[in-house]
Structure 1
Amino acid sequence: MQTATLFDLPAIQTGPQGAPATTPAKKARRPRKVHASVPLTPSTTVPDELIRDADWVVVNSSGGKDSQAMLSYVVRRAKALGMLDKVIVIHADLGDIEWGGTKALAEEQARLVGVRRFEVVQAKGADLLGRVLIRFGKLKAKAEREAIEAGLDPAAVKVAPAWPSSSARWCTSDMKRGPIWTLFTKLAAELSHLGRPVRILNCMGQRAAESAPRAKLAEVEIDRSASNGKRHVTVWRPIHGWSDAEVWREIERSGLPYHPAYDWGMRRLSCSFCVLGCEADVVLAARLRPQKAHEYAAMEVQVAADFKHGLSMAEIIVRAAELEAEHGPLRRPPAGTAMAGFVGKSRTAMYLGRRDLLRERLTLAS
């Protein structure tokens, strides 16, 4: 029998009885209609004008360093304009795949800068691992169906990887973007009395230094996919051009607490095991969260595909075990370790003092 894949099926094959078996033409997708009122380009790219023009200023917070640096910066500008009441912080709760305490930290950061409205959104249904399994089932059924239509053996098909990847970031659309757009609908309804589309300024902490694809993103653009006749969404990436050092200097200046995962050595936050994370990060995560790493490895077996292209979670676990054997268990690093590499030990010590004072004041106020 021939082997078929989702991406390598011939258009015409000889069927079991010698008759030509053609793969049915796929239905063309209808282009999504965007409401005529949605502009093609933003009316301004000037930060203060963006805030003034917006009805809502939505700050997306993963609880990570880029999010909190952006939050500090945006709130500082909004306060100067006397428009802090427009600012809302949104956290997309990813459940157990997040680092512990992430949601609580994102809320604390919002409270500490004076934002009164903190919203948590969460996708309905299965968690990430559950969604990987569901996606695998759908991909497998599709591959088998197409093999049968092409006269091939369905038992021999190769199924496309079910894990998220840089080219298939369905985890972002399913677990973040979708729930956030649902909240946008609610925000637009709250201001429906305006009698016009509600203007939402959607602030994202994406930076050009993170990757080549993010470097190509515009600092300000109209999100036509998220916009409709009731809301116009403008995406603003306030720290798009910032370096790592600038991010840490903003955190140091603000006194906002950052997640301890950075002190352990993680370069990025949100998902403990991000398919886009570097090898060092996922190996470190496997040492810090061994039980969750084994859950990912078990899912690799079920869907017959590696967690990362060319690097399985099983191999990641082996590398983590080798480091444990060579260096012993991880020891908790001193608070401020990550920051000290960018602003120095002296300024980090002062930051820790301000951070603790801010937390004390918040506790007393509440």
Structure 2
Amino acid sequence: MHQLSLTDFEISIENIVSESKKVQLFPLEEYDHIIVSASAGKDSMVCLFKLLDLGVPTEKIELWHQSIDGKKDHYFEFMDWPVTESYVEAAGEHFGIKTAYQWRAKGIYGELLRKESLTGDVYYCENGNIIHLPTKNGKETTRLKWPAMSPNLRVRWCSPYVKIDVFRRVLNNHPRFQGTLEQPKKVLVLTGERREESPNRAKYLECEVHPCSNKKRIVHAWRPVIDYSEQAIWDMYEKRRFLPHPAYLLGWNRTSCFGCIFSTADLWAMMREIAPERFYRLAEMEKELNHTIDTNRLTLEEKANLGSTERLPKDKRLSKWVKLALSRNFNKSDLIMDKFEIPAGAFRGNTGGPS
């Protein structure tokens, strides 16, 4: 009898699990709600463009953004680009689409400094009101260490704790998304992963059952740009003459956290150049925690010293884009360019972000 190796066994189990998640999407008009999980990066924005090109009514679409540094009274500027939230909101206003925010109390800063306590409560905005979802279950634990630079979400805790889990808790508890056994709500969630980005993402399904699905709520997950090339992504921007997130204009090839743990030496050097106070805030936190972002190898200062700032624009655009990227106010009138130009961060590979 053929003996399966551990690797063969793991692959077989992975294939079985993947097959069990596969789903055929309903016609788009049958969904009660269509949510675009909008990071403000190029891929999630093209998910929105694709829905609009397919003729989906704007009143059925919502942009959901997880505010990783918290929001309102829970805000502490720490890891994210200051402009990101207002960029997403401006895009929603431009297209006449509802924008919603979700966040964990004190954001990633609070989770990083968690000591012998539960993870922070979750909040979301609805019609101008802030709704509170308290954390009641779980274990009181201590972090005091940066997320690991790993594709494994069990140790790269930033993504699950300030994005994925926050999104799911809101969807699971939001009254608008509760149906009945006889008439369950139908919800479609779009995310912008692409197979071209990494071997890990190459394995993702385009359509699958979302973890928030239950007997009263049918939730499907759709990755509509999964097979798009980066060229195809920028072609969609050019078609609309749509201004990319300012991070791309400054030379960043991915729009994640400003202080993403996966940032390359060049990106840290660029951050130190355009926002030294933000860079040194993280560098000081490394010293306070006695734990470096680079998994206890190089400090941020050591890593930045190995990088180059050559990507940054060399003309008057630099001060313009820096001012915009570090602002918390983005005007929707700035979204449409007179003439689209490929940003400095385009076609620079997939390093500097999670795999």
TM range (shorter): 0.5 to 0.7
CA displacement, residues 179-200 of structure 1 (integer Å, 9 cap, x when unaligned): 2123313555455368433222
| Mapped pair 1:170 → 2:182 | no
Q: Does structure 2 retain, via aligned residues, the 8 Å contact 1:129–1:296?
A: no
**Are 1:297 and 2:297 counterparts?**
no
- Distance in 1, Cα, partners of 2:196 & 2:232: 11
8 Å contact from structure 2 (residues 266, 306) kept in 1: no
- What is the CA-CA distance between 1:128 and the residue it aligns to? 2.1
**What does 1:42-53 align with in structure 2 at a 5 Å threshold?**
42-45=22-25, 49-53=26-30
Query: 1:91 corresponds to which residue?
Result: 65
Q: Where does residue 328 of structure 2 map in the other structure?
A: none
- Find the residue that maps to 1:245 and give its secondary structure: helix
Residue 246 (structure 2) pairs with residue 260 (structure 1): yes
- Is residue 333 of structure 1 aligned with residue 317 of structure 2? yes
2:83 to 95, 98, 101: 101
Give the conservation status (yes or no) of the 8 Å contact 2:23–2:207: no
Task: Report the TM-score when normalising by structure 1.
Answer: 0.65
Query: Is the partner of 1:174 in helix, strand or coil?
Result: helix
Other-structure match for 1:111: 93
Cα distance in structure 2, aligned partners of 1:329 and 1:202:
36
**Structure 1: which amino acid aligns with 2:301?**
A
Give yes or no for the alignment of 1:56 onto 2:33.
yes
> Is the contact made by 1:203 and 1:237 (CA closer than 8 Å) also made in structure 2?
yes
Q: Which runs of 5+ in 1 are unaligned?
A: 1-38, 139-158, 337-350, 356-366
Which structure 2 segments of 5+ residues have no match?
1-18, 70-76, 118-142, 322-335, 341-355
Give CA-to-partner distance per residue, 1:7-63, whole Å, 9 cap, x none. xxxxxxxxxxxxxxxxxxxxxxxxxxxxxxxx9445415xxx452342211001111
**Aligned CA distance change for structure 1 residues 240 and 282 (closer, same or farther; 3 Å):** farther
1:267-289 CA distances to partner (integer Å, 9 max, x unpaired)? 11131011233332233223222
CA distance in 1, matches of 2:20, 2:213: 11
Which of 226, 230, 238 is 2:216 aligned to? 230
Partner SS for 1:252? helix
Shift of 1:244: 1.3
Q: Distance in 1 between matches of 2:238 and 2:313?
A: 30
Distance 1:165 1:232 in 2: 34
Aligned position for 1:122: 103
Structure 2-normalised TM-score?
0.66
Distance 2:315 2:176 in 1: 50
Aligned twin of 1:197: 184
Partners of 1:279 and 1:94 in 2: CA distance: 23
Aligned length: 270
Q: Matches of 1:264 and 1:56 in 2, distance apart?
A: 35
Q: Which secondary structure state, in structure 1, belongs to the residue aligned with residue 226 of structure 2?
A: coil
What is the match of residue 134 of structure 1? 114
Q: Is the 8 A contact 1:42 1:234 kept in 2?
A: no
Is the contact between residue 144 and residue 289 of structure 2 (CA under 8 Å) also seen in structure 1?
no
Larger displacement relative to structure 2 (56-65 or 248-257): 248-257
C-alpha displacement at 1:92, in angstroms?
1.0
Aligned-partner SS, 1:352: coil
Match of 1:154 in 2: none
Instruction: Please give the alpha-carbon distance, in whole angstroms, between the structure 1 residues aligned to 2:219 and 2:298.
Output: 38
* Aligned residue number for residue 278 of structure 1: 264
Per-residue deviation at 1:319? 4.0
Please state how far the C-alpha of 1:330 moved relative to its aligned partner. 6.5
What amino acid sits opposite 2:191 in the alignment? Answer: M
Taking the aligned partners of 1:189 and 1:278, their CA distance within structure 2 comes to: 41
| Separation of aligned partners in 1, 2:144 and 2:85 | 33
User: Matches of 2:110 and 2:277 in 1, distance apart?
Assistant: 16
Give the aligned residue type for 1:120: Y
Match of 2:337 in 1: 352
Give the letter for the 1:129 counterpart.
Answer: Y
8 Å Cα contact 2:38-2:45 kept in structure 1: yes
Question: Which of 190, 215, 234 matches 2:202?
Answer: 215
The SS at the match of 1:315 is helix
Query: CA 1:180–1:269 in structure 2 vs 1: closer, same or farther (change >3 Å)?
Result: same
Distance in structure 2 (CA, Å) of the matches to 1:170 and 1:114? 34
Q: How far apart, CA to CA, are the structure 1 residues paired with 2:96 and 2:221? A: 23
Distance 1:245 1:103, change over 3 A: same
Measure the CA separation in 2 of the matches of 1:318 and 1:308. 14
Distance 1:299 1:194, change over 3 A: same
Conserved in 2, the CA contact under 8 Å of 1:188 and 1:231?
no
Q: Answer 1 or 2: which has greater helix percent.
A: 1
2-structure distance, mates of 1:286, 1:88: 35
**In structure 2, C-alpha distance between the alignment counterparts of 1:63 and 1:232, rounded to whole Å:** 26
